[in-house]
Each structure stands twice: as C-alpha cells, then as structure tokens.
A = this chain, B = another copy of it.
Amino acid sequence: MKALSQVGKYGLRALLYLVAYPPKNQYLSIREISDELGLSFHFVTKIFRELTEKGILISYRGPSGGIALAKPAEEIMLIDVIKALEGEDYFDKCLIGLPHCGTAKPCPVHEFWKEVKTKMQKNFSETSLALLGEKIRTMEVRLDD
C-alpha cells in the first residue's frame, strides 16, 4: 500500500531536513539538502519548484540563495505538503473505482474506506512540520542515505 509517490517521499524528506535542521542563513541551498540526504539535486530542485509555486516555500536565486519556508513551520501542516505534492484530490480517491458509483448505492467497502481516509486526513491536518522537525531532532532520526 504505497501511500506516497517518489515525488511525495523525497519532497517531504527534503522539507523535513530543512525544518529539523534550520540554517543560520535565511536560505538553505538545494545542493546542500540533496547532498546531505543523498538525493538527486535536479529531482529535488524540480520538487521544490512545485512547493514554491504552491506557496509552501520561497526561493531566492544567486549566491547564498536557496529555499526557505514561506511560513513558520508551526503553520504548515503535513496535509498541506501532501496535497501540494500529491494533488488536492489526494483524499478523494476511491478504493475500487466502480463506474456507476454514487452516494445512493455505495459499494460495500465505501464506508470503511471513508473512515480510513478521514482518520488520515484528521491526523495530517493536526500535524505541523514544526512538530515533526522537533521529533526528528530529539529522537535523532536519520533522514540521510
């Protein structure tokens, strides 16, 4: 049960590095993140560009440029990141996708599947990047390769 695509996993991981180990300078360069985590610089760049477009990151070009959170980590919820990386419809997906499906006659797995999605949605909505970053720091969780 793959919950996230590679874009989602790498994006979240790179973002968590930024949050858990915030730089002294205003901006942290993508090169440092990708080197530190052992991820492809170009791939991370592409992912971060999306996050910048979506308003989760801000970026600055040129020497000593890089990326930074657009808002305080306390105000960015995990659900925002996942929706930005996987699509706004992330929690609207159906389990078996019957063509004639409707609320009138939902298939027998619908109720349960909705419960699962609601549980995840709730949890992700309540989890801030700040909290995740702090846990990563205090538990000394390794994000690198």
| A141 close to B95 (CB less than 8 A) | no
A45 to B91, CA, bound (A): 31
Summarize A's interface: helix, strand, loop or mixed.
loop
- Interface size on A, as a range, is 35 or more
- Choose among B12, B91, B105, B135 the residue that contacts A1 (Cβ–Cβ < 8 A): B91
**Min CB distance, A47 to chain B, in Å?**
14
| B107 close to A3 (CB less than 8 A) | no
A127 to B109, CA, bound (A): 9
| B132 close to A99 (CB less than 8 A) | no
Q: Count the copies.
A: 2
**Min CB distance, A101 to chain B, in Å?**
8
| B144 close to A1 (CB less than 8 A) | no
**Min CB distance, A70 to chain B, in Å?**
21
A100-B145, A109-B132 known; 15 other A-B pairs, CB under 8 Å? A1-B91, A2-B93, A3-B93, A3-B113, A4-B96, A38-B99, A78-B109, A100-B144, A101-B142, A105-B140, A105-B141, A106-B139, A108-B132, A108-B136, A109-B127
A12 to B98, CA, bound (A): 11
Q: Which residues of B contact A113 (CB under 8 A)?
A: 3
